[in-house]
Chain A
Amino acid sequence: MGSSITHIRNFSIIAHIDHGKSTLADRLIQKCGGLQEREMAEQVLDSMDLERERGITIKSQSVRLSYEAANGETYQLNLIDTPGHVDFSYEVSRSLTACDGALLVVDAAQGVEAQSVATCYSAIDLGVEVLPVLNKMDLPMAEPERVATEVEEIIGLSTDDVVRISAKTGDGIDELLEQLVERIPAPQLSDVEGAQALIVDSWFDNYLGVVSLVRVFAGELRKGDRIVAYSVGQTHTIDEVGVFTPRREKVDVLQSGEVGYVVAGIKEIHGAPVGDTLVFANSETPALPGFAKAKPQIFAGLYPSNSDDFEAMRIALEKLCLNDAALHFEVETSDALGFGFRCGFLGMLHMEIVQERLEREYDLDLITSAPSVVYEVVDRDGETLRIDNPSQLDDSGRIVEIREPIAEVNILVPPDYLGNVIELCIGRRGVQRSMLFTGGQVSLRFDIPMSEVVLDFFDKLKSVSRGYASLDYSFDRFETAPLVKVDILINGTKIDSLAMIVHRERANARGREMASSMKALIPRQMFDVAIQAAIGRQVIARTTVKAYRKNVTAKCYGGDVTRKKKLLEKQKEGKKRMKQVGKVDIPQEAFLAALSVDR
């Protein structure tokens, strides 16, 4: 079913969560006959269980559709799905690289959201044609005029021909498809010799090995072709090429301009890195520009609660990394938690997802330490070091300067909540850079320390704006700040994985809050448990979990033994989920206590 390159349209949908991207994708698949009616599980593109449950898209997927336009011609439409959460903006731009156009879907009742603005800018930078689409026109609160104004004023796109649709009812879908074919350009023919296919995504399949989603920019790929991933250099023979409709279907050839998958017996998980180019073996064909690696914004220690699982965890992380270019990890040792991994994530949601996948798909039981951003420190010799684990911060006086990452934060919020949002930003040590009133929203720009943004800022922003504010942020620069390390000591022992780097003015309050939240989390034991927070040698907070007075089974006669033993076993099982530090059993949640501290 190969199509002439002029009849191919590769596009993505840019939309904020809730703005109806998945519903629209479903509608397009239905319209273009990708699936029989009965196969239409709702939201087909969100294939991972986790995505389904959280109602968000994490990984890009693609689907090839066949559309017969009003002019009688049949077009091949390749929809490349993109994630819709602030943590995953990097994956969005990756998907955009494979496209020639994008639909910017905006909720006609809510208006433009900050993240869509940022994504649109990346799309425009990449030369992708952006078509604004107003969705949810069926809602009585829809205000297409106001929202169109926002699209023009905030993003700078003309809305003269804006398509108005309701993905839910199907209204306007035909017009959208016509516009799509008309306005999104066909892929450009390349005059490069050989073949060039950009790896948009790779994942590990238990039966096929590594499967790569590619966009062919030049030449053709077929079964039997001998190829190499440019940066890896190892030759493989293609076993299978195909497309998703969204079912996986083999095809004979992937032509220039097309999107599809390649299976080439690559077993080893670094054999097909995302962003790399597939070219024919022994050819002189150059690589495509690819894309820059996503930089993790937060780092946390992930430890198997059973140390025997260390190797299994390494393998699991390696597999996750194949599908998740933004995930970083390296071995880390903690006095408290033993052997584990320091992992880098794009944000909190990313971290939670990785954690959940490790636990669910790989059956691992994990202990996670509170995440930290990366700091730059300068020592007395003038050397600059990067620190992503607060316990590594030398507090013996060798450090002369600590610099923290500052994020450029863009927020769109209706004027009613502007006061709340500004207050929140200032509370997070933010500095206002600009404010612009437009349509029904205010566009705000703040510089805020990354450490104040990555953890719970998004949740707080949503709550102070009743869900109306939207957020986009990115790393901007490092800046010197009066930061100190706060250590937590349990019965006099420093717990390395509980150390935090905090602004000096807030250190005492944070230390007190940490101590009291640890007190609430640590169960009573045989001995008193002293909890202290300290800066260097100076104790700034202390509290005690008093020892159990008595832990005694009142009655036990001949008949009770088996049952009483089961109770003890259950108790012991509960303790297994704790880490022993010295004599003290610390529950896993305590290592995340810093997160539960209300800032």
Chain B
Amino acid sequence: MIILDTVVLMFFFLLTITGCSIQTVQPWERDILAQDKMQLVPDPLENALDEHIYFSKEAASGGQGVGGGGCGCN
């Protein structure tokens, strides 16, 4: 299990640092990246509601930012 986890982590780490061939994107070429639907969190309210649901139903939480939680969830 630990070996599998390590492999998975290494995979994502390598994928990140190699960046699937990172290309220069000039400011005037960022029209697509600037679209709402391309944001990391396109709907913050929905994201917060989901985080709250899973925080109250699962042992693992977090990862996207700092803060959060704050409930005596049943």
Is B a genuine binding partner of A?
A: no
